[in-house]
Amino acid sequence: MSEMSIKLNLNKYCIEGTAFLVIDTVEKTVPAKGGIRVHPNVTEEEIASLAAEMTQKCILAGLPFGGAKGGIRLADMSQLERAMYGFGRELSKLDFLPYKWCAAPDVNTDSVAIDAFIAGCASVKGWRKARISATGKSSGIPHELGSTAYGVVLSLEKTIEYLGLDIALPVSRVIVEGIGEVGGNAIKLLIAKGARIAGISDITGSLYAAKGLNSAQLLKNLEAKKTVQAMGPDFSDAEYSAKSSDLLGRDADILVLAGPGRSITPEKAEHLKVKIIVEGANIAYSETELRKTVNTQGIISIPGIIANSGGVISSYEEWVLENQDKMEDSMEEKWEIVKASIETRITRNISDLCSKFTQCNRRKTPLECALEIASERQQKAREANHNLRNKTKLINSELEKKYAVFTR
């Protein structure tokens, strides 16, 4: 059950749009954290599910934030910037920004969209407060740098290493669902490590070549921001399908999920032909039970609450720098801070995940193992906080008695 949710009509900004904010968990001293996704079919249920996932993601990454998510159901995507401005302004008038929620990019939102959101907040709260209302802005640490993808590829490498899987990344064949900010950057990183990209997909269709797509041409097309359909003529040896989901049934070593989510359906779960899945997408499965179907086939599915946490880790580091007035550091310096934080947090999580997964002889799904780790850490944190409160009360009580003469 979410802590709070709000629904806003954006008609006053002359657009056909409805905005949602769901805060799943509230922390006393820091805002809840989660990105804003925008598309014509956003639902409150979708946003609530994503907010709950953010709670677990923050616990596992060792971040102090509560979990939240924002969304805008927008009929005309050309009005994205205006919708983001209106969302930021209306939430500021309700005092949700900047201290109850800190936004970030998600599906169809980038640093430019976040800049518009911050401008809406600034129109009510002023620029200083507005800057801490969101991360991933163009003057902060833009997610376009590839923080989420960096975590996705790191999760993949560490899982292969810690589980001793018979997969050599430099000669592996990879299929990637989604070629946007996460998928596109993951492709670049994987190619740099020697992997062959055998297939890709987006909303316009899928391309697959068993021996791999030409890496140089693929990178060139990604730079030009071509759709998969438009790329078709550039790969004469590749098979094109207008149905994006056809990619999920193709043969490969690795499947990177970096689309809008819920792509592993009952039909697809039975016909996967990969050894390992890395969930760069949020809520990768249409039904939680399908994870068991995949697990019983011997396919490892690295849960998104670990694999795609690079984005929120980057956001945390930006939020810290912003609150310390240290955003004047060069982008290179800030990016090094982000990478180091991602490596520390995700390596720890993958190590613990693989250990627990091995201990149960892989009978539990990786997500079940990850949720157990999150629960254990949360309980440990509660106990530590309880002990700290009791210790503080004891100290205060002793001092009150000692100096009672001054308060009579």
**Tens-place pLDDT, residues 227-252:** 999 999 999 999 999 999 999 999 99
Report the C-alpha gap between 10 and 8 in whole angstroms.
Answer: 6
Which pLDDT tens digit goes with each residue over 293-339? 999 999 999 999 999 999 999 999 999 999 998 899 899 999 999 99
Residue (of 233, 229, 222) closest to 205 by Cα position: 229
pLDDT digits (tens, 9 = 90+) for 44-64: 999 999 999 999 999 999 999
pTM listed for this prediction: 0.95
Taking the C-alpha atoms of residue 183 and residue 145, their distance in angstroms, rounded to an integer, is 12
Structure confidence at residue 3 (pLDDT): 84
Say which CATH architecture domain 147-309+360-367 belongs to: 3-Layer(aba) Sandwich (3.40)
| 339 catalytic per annotation | no
Q: Which residues, in sequence order, are bridge partners of residue 36?
A: 70, 105
pLDDT of residue 1: 58
| Residue ranges, CATH 3.40.50.10860, the chain | 4-138
Region(s) of the chain under CATH 3.40.50.720: 147-309+360-367
| 266: β partners | none
Just give the CATH number of 4-138: 3.40.50.10860
Rounding to the nearest 10 degrees, give the CA dihedral for residues 89, 73, 137, 32.
80
CA atoms within 13 A on the CB side of 130: 23
Residues 6 or more apart in contact with residue 53 via CB below 8 angstroms: 67, 282, 283, 304, 305
Q: Which of 1-15, 110-124, 149-163, 359-373 has the lowest mean pLDDT?
A: 1-15
Q: Which two tokens stand for residue 313?
A: 């880790």
In whole angstroms, how far apart are CA 139 and each of 92, 97, 275, 321? 20, 19, 40, 12
Q: What is the dihedral of CA 23, 26, 320, 114, to 10 degrees?
A: 10
Determine the 3-state secondary structure of 110 from DSSP: coil
- Going by C-alpha positions, the residue among 2, 73, 60, 72 that lies closest to residue 32 is 2
> Considering 33, 57, 69, 188, which one is annotated as catalytic?
69
User: How many C-beta atoms surround the C-beta of residue 127 within 10 A?
Assistant: 11
